[in-house]
Amino acid sequence: MLERIGHMLVRKANQEEHRPVFDEAGDIPQHIAVIMDGNGRWAKKRNLARIVGHRSGMQTVKEIVKAADGIGVKTMTMYAFSTENWKRPRDEVDYLMKLPQEFLSTELEELNERNVRVRMLGNSDRLPSHTIEAMNIAEERTRQNTGLQLNFALNYGGRTEIVKAVTELARQVQAGELKPEEIDEALLAQHLYTRDLPDPDLLIRTSGEIRLSNFMLWQMAYTELWFTDVLWPDFTKEHFFEAIAEYQGRARRYGAV
């Protein structure tokens, strides 16, 4: 018991000093993809509307992006809305489409000051114009920034993304600009939303679901996967550092020995 109390005190002291549990001099994942899940359940547990959970989840985005930036992560890709999320009630979809504006209206200046580059990954066709406009402003404002690359996957679907790439290549073949035998992995990857980004090193998914839900299917061929039961609004930088610590203990073999 004494030991337990001692341990807890040590942990608390560490948290207050923001001392990470991972090796700061070790291998920091360069690109972290995040499936921010569990906002609805977080709200339900409190008898609140689902959208309150989404609003609370937005605070988590701020904290985690700051933490990632602080430890030198180069790219964060946050799954904000999937091509399947249109199946949700109209009110909820409407609210989720307002979140980028809400987030950026309070955060864009600070992100810009921190040299963060914001980008949207996904199909903008079906998005409301106010959502597209908010993302465009953020992309334009931060285009020259060379720090953390912060991607929001919005109306993103891994399968749709691959189909889009295949369609573009098929058109080039049809036009006689490309031979089928010239198509390789690198060329296909050039037609994905992530064309100029490295594949994710680490995927974090919250809320206890152990699946990919159509996120970055091509890019995650060799990504390390990390799952936690913590709901996204409850997820803290300490959880984030825990994921990185576990990542640092993994052996990435890429099929070799």
Residue 28 or 243: the one with the smaller Cβ distance to ligand IPE is 243
> Nearest 5 degrees, angle CA 248-CA 250-CA 255?
135
125 contact partners, CB below 8 Å, separation of at least 6: 155
Q: From Mg ion, ligand IPE, none, which one binds at residue 150 (CB under 5 to 8 Å depending on kind)?
A: none
Q: Contact positions toward Mg ion, by CB under 5 A? A: 37
Q: How far is the CB of 37 from Mg ion (least distance, A)?
A: 4
- From the list ligand IPE, Mg ion, none, which binds 41 (C-beta under 5 to 8 Å, kind-based)? ligand IPE
Catalytic residue among 14, 23, 27, 37, which?
Answer: 37
Is 37 catalytic? The answer is yes
How many other CB atoms are there within 10 angstroms of residue 236's CB atom? Answer: 14
- 81 counts as binding ligand IPE under rule CB under 6 A: yes
Residue 85 appears among annotated catalytic residues = yes
How distant is the alpha carbon of residue 97 from its chain centre?
A: 17
Q: Is there binding between residue 85 and ligand IPE (CB under 6 A)?
A: yes
For position 194 contacting ligand IPE by CB under 6 A, the verdict is no
Only one residue has tokens 């996204």, namely: 232
Tell me the closest approach of the beta carbon of residue 153 to Mg ion, in angstroms. 14
CA 248-251-252 angle, 5° bins: 105
Residue 82's binding partner, choosing from Mg ion, ligand IPE, none, with beta-carbon cut-off 5 to 8 A by kind? ligand IPE
- Name which of 122, 32, 123, 34 is nearest 78 in CA terms: 34
Active site residues per annotation: 37, 85
Name the residues that contact ligand IPE, by CB under 6 A: 35-41, 79-82, 85, 96, 207, 209, 211, 213
